[in-house]
Chains A and B, each alone.
Chain A
Amino acid sequence: MPVESLFPRLEKLLPQVSKPIQYVGGELNSQVKDWDEAPESEMVRWCLMYPDAYEVGLPNQGVMILYEVLNEQPNTIAERCYSVWPDLATLMRQHAIPAFSIDAHRPVKEFDVLGISFSTELGYTNMLEALDLAQIPLHAADRDATHPIVLAGGHAAFNPEPIAEFIDAAVLGDGEQAVLEMTDIIRRAKREGLTREQTLLELAKSGGVYVPRFYDVSYLADGRIQRVAPNHPDVPFRVRKRTVMDLDEWPYPKQPLVPLAETVHERMSVEIFRGCTRGCRFCQAGMITRPVRERSITGIGEMVEAGLAATGYEEVGLLSLSSADHSEIADIAKGLADRYEGTQTSLSLPSTRVDAFNIDLAQELSRGGRRSGLTFAPEGGSERLRKVINKMVSKDDLVATVTAAYGAGWRQVKLYFMCGLPTETDEDVLEIAEMARDVIRAGRQVTGTRDVKCTVSIGGFVPKAHTPFQWASQADPATIDRRLMLLKDAIRSDKSTAKAIGFRYHDGKPGAVEGLLSRGDRRIGRVIEEVWRQGGKFDGWSEHFSYDRWMTAAVATDIDVDWYTTRERGELEILPWDHLDSGLDKEWLWSDWQEALSEQDLDDCRWIPCFDCGVCPQLGTEIQVGPTGRKLLPLAIK
């Protein structure tokens, strides 16, 4: 059944909205495939959504990778959509134009799967807005055979319970193989004429897809969860996360999308490894993406070369959770710098740790011409607190590193911290001011000039599922805001350095909502729905976010926000995500939580014996790091 493009109707509205180019599609390396390439029962069509504005969503690597992986398959279509700004949403409702993909402007409701990638829980209201604009019922229970399967992925999918009633399914972990396996199951279901319920059951039986409707949750009188159990004999008790083992086999995106519109990351990104075992206790990404799997130096070189040719980008980002930790990073940096010297191509390592080695790397990478900024993340203000969070860097290390950066010609560095970490006191936070002052003084000394600056950037900590801090009490917004103001005053109080230290902060209110959503259970769904009904969307944008709207909705739906955020959980409490298996052993997480409270740090298991976090034996995976000993040879043709 052919599906018509909505573009002719949309085109008439575009002159009336801001930045219309974001709705037009046609990016370099985007593709439009024949909707009816094969008989209906053979076709599987995905609409991939990033639930934020185009400028944020387009550069998302996850969506780009799956878009390409799926489109390479015969009889399989992947198109994309992003959140529509309120100006166009209003016009679409006025003119009864349903939500569309931006590739071929086909109605979202006509696809077999609507796959939504959640990097953050603050995208939940945008999902409801998208479903409503797509004319798809909000609640999974109200959908029928004509509607797409609504699928959640991304880091937030490791606790999808707050959106359990809105999604049909969720996938935990790496998507590359998962989407292909799901495509096969859905194709088989279409061939055999299975009902929606039967199709979802087939997905759930595969063990790697979580289908909330096949799990019942019961509660104790005090509100805690009593039990989460399957209500169907064929579905597993726990759903496991997906892990891609050999990154060199998955060199995606091969043809990165290049937008016409301006976006937040204007560069070609290559993921140099996945996973992190540094063991920072606050870091959900580091916990849920274990083990470490490196892309080889030659694989990286090939991706950079092909990606630059395909895009024309002038910047390459070497992405990972801690890029300087790649076993061959020095050779990678030197090899790429040699290859691209004189081509006006800049290279950057967006995530770096605090040590002098990084300055050498950054210098190597800036040889190509442009010099990128330097950001260091000590995260915690005091030595004691950094032991609690297992971010092992001393103040002396930091001052030495930043001094080296100033010495090497940088004049501005950024320092990133969190506020509201477990066991934190006012004194811990105030030490940040002292650290910044020491950095400036040392910088002035080494450069012999007063022209050195640093920016302290700080945000509220939000405890996340599947981390050692999943039991922790989240600091309330008033405490966070008070400490941030104390810190601001402390930075300003020393006139000799005040002007050299920038201070950027995020107040504690959005963190409280993020905390409610990230450790929430199924009962939180009604708050999300109420917020959306009251006009809430784009919650990640300060100009759209309303704390009061969330708190009013929580009261209206009888939800105690503090119970979900500031309450410390006990060892035996059933957590809403216990039936979702990130590979981490819950006993190990608990013991790591206890060690955090007693200020014991823990080393990285890449270089010391295993300490039984559980991931490798649980998932049949292993750490895959080099070195391979290979080098990048000069390119024959530049």
Chain B
Amino acid sequence: MSRQPPGAPPPPIVQRIRLRYTKRGRLRFTSHRDIARVFERALRRAQIPMAFSAGFSPHPKISWVGAAATGVASEAEYVEIALAERRDPEQLRQQLDASLPDGIDVTEAVEAAPGSSLPDRVQASLWRIELPQVTQIALQQAVLAFLLKDCVEVERMTKNGRRTFDTRAAVVSMSAAGAADCAILTVVVQHVTPAVRPDDVLTGLRSVSDLATPVPPAATRLAQGLLTAEGEVADPLAPDRIDSTAAGTSEAVPTAPG
């Protein structure tokens, strides 16, 4: 008649690993929820010794840091996983990467520095947006017009209904370049609420100029992290790397089976 699940409570967390992963090609059409399911299954197939929550419906301990929107590609997504047994981060990275579909590629894995918070190290994103069939000049004019404004309001459906918000204040820097049959926008955007997404920036650009995008532009997040004094986006895993180097490798790391 017990309302507690039978058996012992789940084993404790012994290690936290921070991962950088990508959302490339067709996989950019996954939603955040899709990514979460894909990860959970890949972790099981790769037999990563995850730590689980307690209760009737135990879940693996996975902490997501933001997430690129559906349809948006990324080279710099981050997630933290908690393990019930220690693992070598690089071996874990290879096993998990082999188990994930092509396009979701785990590019870095580091052990989390104790007591630090990954979300606190993510403040802004560097975006690269390709605009097919747009000239560099047309884009440049739109960028100039945008940067000259103090406020560029756009409207979008959010969880809380249709909202109007400013996109200008969140933009740290913005520039235009050209490539074959497309213009390329590079923009650093601060993470604010409501989120200013790449398509909001484009809506803003269109609203201050006669920029037209005949083909849907393709956005890719190149980096996310803290903003440096120079307005650049720092690597959020750098402090963990420094920490693990400083700590040395005195502790023996067991080799994963298989």
Query: Which residues of A come within 8 Å of B, CB atoms?
Result: 7, 11-12, 14-16, 19-21, 23-26, 28, 258, 260-262, 266, 309-314, 341-342, 344, 367, 369-371, 407-409, 411, 447
- CB atoms of B37 and A262 under 8 A apart: yes
Judge whether B45 is part of the interface by a CB distance below 8 angstroms.
Answer: yes
Picked from A24, A309, A312, A370, the residue with its CB within 8 Å of the CB of B42 is: A312
- CB atoms of B216 and A16 under 8 A apart: yes
User: In the complex, what residues of A have CB within 8 A of residue B43's CB?
Assistant: 312
**Cα of A28 to Cα of B38 in the assembled complex, Å:** 10
**Cα of A15 to Cα of B129 in the assembled complex, Å:** 14
Residue in chain A with minimal CB distance to B199: A15
- CB atoms of A20 and B1 under 8 A apart: no
- CB atoms of B56 and A266 under 8 A apart: no
What are 11 A-B contacts with C-beta separation under 8 Å? Answer: A16-B216, A20-B29, A21-B31, A260-B30, A261-B30, A311-B41, A312-B99, A314-B41, A344-B58, A371-B57, A411-B3
B199 to A: closest C-beta gap in Å? 9
- CB atoms of A21 and B2 under 8 A apart: no
**Cα of A314 to Cα of B39 in the assembled complex, Å:** 12
Instruction: Taking A14-B71, A26-B26, A407-B1 as given, write out 8 further A-B residue pairs in contact, using a Cβ cutoff of 8 Å, ordered by the A residue number.
Output: A12-B215, A12-B216, A23-B29, A24-B27, A260-B101, A367-B7, A369-B7, A411-B3
Residue in chain B with minimal CB distance to A447: B1
- CB atoms of A266 and B37 under 8 A apart: yes
Judge whether B52 is part of the interface by a CB distance below 8 angstroms.
Answer: yes
Proximity bits, B10-31, A CB within 8 Å = 1, else 0 = 0000000000000000110111
- CB atoms of A409 and B2 under 8 A apart: yes
User: In the complex, what residues of A have CB within 8 A of residue B101's CB?
Assistant: 26, 28, 260
A359 to B: closest C-beta gap in Å? 13
For the complex of A and B, 7 pairs with smallest distance between CB atoms: A312-B41, A312-B45, A312-B44, A20-B29, A15-B216, A21-B29, A24-B26
A342 to B: closest C-beta gap in Å? 7
- CB atoms of A370 and B41 under 8 A apart: no
Residue in chain A with minimal CB distance to B257: A637
**Cα of A422 to Cα of B31 in the assembled complex, Å:** 47
- CB atoms of B29 and A313 under 8 A apart: no
Judge whether B6 is part of the interface by a CB distance below 8 angstroms.
Answer: yes
User: In the complex, what residues of A have CB within 8 A of residue B44's CB?
Assistant: 312-314
- CB atoms of B45 and A261 under 8 A apart: no
Proximity bits, B58-83, A CB within 8 Å = 1, else 0 = 10100000000011000000000000
User: In the complex, what residues of A have CB within 8 A of residue B38's CB?
Assistant: 260
B220 to A: closest C-beta gap in Å? 13
Inter-chain contact total with CB atoms closer than 8 Å? 83
User: In the complex, what residues of A have CB within 8 A of residue B3's CB?
Assistant: 409, 411
**Cα of A261 to Cα of B40 in the assembled complex, Å:** 13
Q: In the complex, which range does the number of interface residues on chain B fall in? A: 20 to 34
**Cα of A26 to Cα of B99 in the assembled complex, Å:** 14
Residue in chain A with minimal CB distance to B219: A15
**Cα of A262 to Cα of B34 in the assembled complex, Å:** 7
**Cα of A20 to Cα of B70 in the assembled complex, Å:** 8
User: In the complex, what residues of B have CB within 8 A of residue A371's CB?
Assistant: 5, 56-57
User: In the complex, what residues of A have CB within 8 A of residue B31's CB?
Assistant: 19, 21
A585 to B: closest C-beta gap in Å? 47
User: In the complex, what residues of A have CB within 8 A of residue B216's CB?
Assistant: 12, 15-16
- CB atoms of B71 and A15 under 8 A apart: yes
**Cα of A28 to Cα of B45 in the assembled complex, Å:** 11
Picked from B33, B42, B52, the residue with its CB within 8 Å of the CB of A262 is: B33
With known contacts A21-B34, A261-B34, A369-B58, A344–B52 Cβ distance under 8 A: yes
With known contacts A15-B216, A407-B1, A258–B41 Cβ distance under 8 A: yes
- CB atoms of B1 and A260 under 8 A apart: no
- CB atoms of A14 and B56 under 8 A apart: no
Residue in chain A with minimal CB distance to B2: A409
A305 to B: closest C-beta gap in Å? 13
User: In the complex, what residues of B have CB within 8 A of residue A258's CB?
Assistant: 41
A309 to B: closest C-beta gap in Å? 7
- CB atoms of B52 and A342 under 8 A apart: no
User: In the complex, what residues of A have CB within 8 A of residue B42's CB?
Assistant: 312
A360 to B: closest C-beta gap in Å? 14
User: In the complex, what residues of B have CB within 8 A of residue A262's CB?
Assistant: 33-34, 37
**Cα of A409 to Cα of B1 in the assembled complex, Å:** 5
Residue in chain B with minimal CB distance to A371: B56
User: In the complex, what residues of B have CB within 8 A of residue A313's CB?
Assistant: 41, 44
**Cα of A26 to Cα of B100 in the assembled complex, Å:** 12
User: In the complex, what residues of B have CB within 8 A of residue A266's CB?
Assistant: 37
Residue in chain B with minimal CB distance to A266: B37
**Cα of A24 to Cα of B24 in the assembled complex, Å:** 13
B27 to A: closest C-beta gap in Å? 7
Give the contacts of B102-119 with A (CB-CB under 8 A). 102-103
Residue in chain A with minimal CB distance to B5: A369
Residue in chain A with minimal CB distance to B3: A409
User: In the complex, what residues of B have CB within 8 A of residue A314's CB?
Assistant: 40-41, 44
**Cα of A265 to Cα of B221 in the assembled complex, Å:** 32
User: In the complex, what residues of B have CB within 8 A of residue A23's CB?
Assistant: 29
**Cα of A262 to Cα of B45 in the assembled complex, Å:** 18
- CB atoms of A260 and B34 under 8 A apart: yes
B160 to A: closest C-beta gap in Å? 19
Residue in chain B with minimal CB distance to A446: B1
Residue in chain A with minimal CB distance to B216: A15
Residue in chain B with minimal CB distance to A342: B7
With known contacts A16-B216, A21-B29, A370–B1 Cβ distance under 8 A: no
Most buried by B among A12, A309, A367, A409: A409
User: In the complex, what residues of B have CB within 8 A of residue A16's CB?
Assistant: 216
Most buried by A among B52, B57, B215: B57
Residue in chain A with minimal CB distance to B102: A26
Residue in chain B with minimal CB distance to A21: B29
B170 to A: closest C-beta gap in Å? 22
